[in-house]
Amino acid sequence: DQQVKQNSPSLSVQEGRISILNCDYTNSMFDYFLWYKKYPAEGPTFLISISSIKDKNEDGRFTVFLNKSAKHLSLHIVPSQPGDSAVYFCAATKTGGTSYGKLTFGQGTILTVHP
C-alpha cells in the first residue's frame, strides 16, 4: 500500500537555509494533508496541515504547498534550525462522510540540520 510516498529517506541542510521535504500521493479521494515531526522515543507531533481547497498554508517558519493536479505536497522550513532535526512524516486522509480520522502515512524523511 503506497498511497502516500516520501521518496527521500533523508535530507541534510545547513542551519539557516531552507529545508524542503516532499510527499506524493496516489489516492485522489484524499482531501486533507498533514505533516508530523517525530523525535526518537516520542510519538509523532502535529506540525501543519492543508485542505485540498487551498494550495498553501503557512505557520511561522513552516509552509506547506499542495499541488493537487500533481498529487504532490511539500513542507518548507525557513530558516532551518538544528532543533528541527527529526523524522518528518507526511499524512493524508479523506474527510467527511464516515471518516473518523484515519491517517495514511508516508515512510518518513530524516531531516538533519547542521550548525
Partner 1 sequence: EPEVTQTPSHQVTQMGQEVILRCVPISNHLYFYWYRQILGQKVEFLVSFYNNEISEKSEIFDDQFSVERPDGSNFTLKIRSTKLEDSAMYFCASSGLVLNYGYTFGSGTRLTVV
Using CB under 8 A, which of 18, 46, 59, 72 touches partner 1? Answer: 46
SS3 42: coil
Q: Does 44 bind partner 1 (CB under 8 A)?
A: yes
Q: Is 82 helix (H, G, I), strand (E, B) or coil?
A: helix
Cell of 57: 498554508
105-to-14, 25, 86, 108, 114 alpha-carbon distances in Å: 27, 10, 16, 8, 26
100 sits near partner 1 (criterion: CB under 8 A): yes
Query: According to the binding rule CB under 8 A, does residue 74 interact with partner 1?
Result: no
Among 13, 32, 84, 113, binds partner 1 (CB under 8 A): 32
Would you tell me which residues interact with partner 1 (CB under 8 A)?
32, 34, 36, 41-46, 49, 89, 91, 93, 95, 98-108
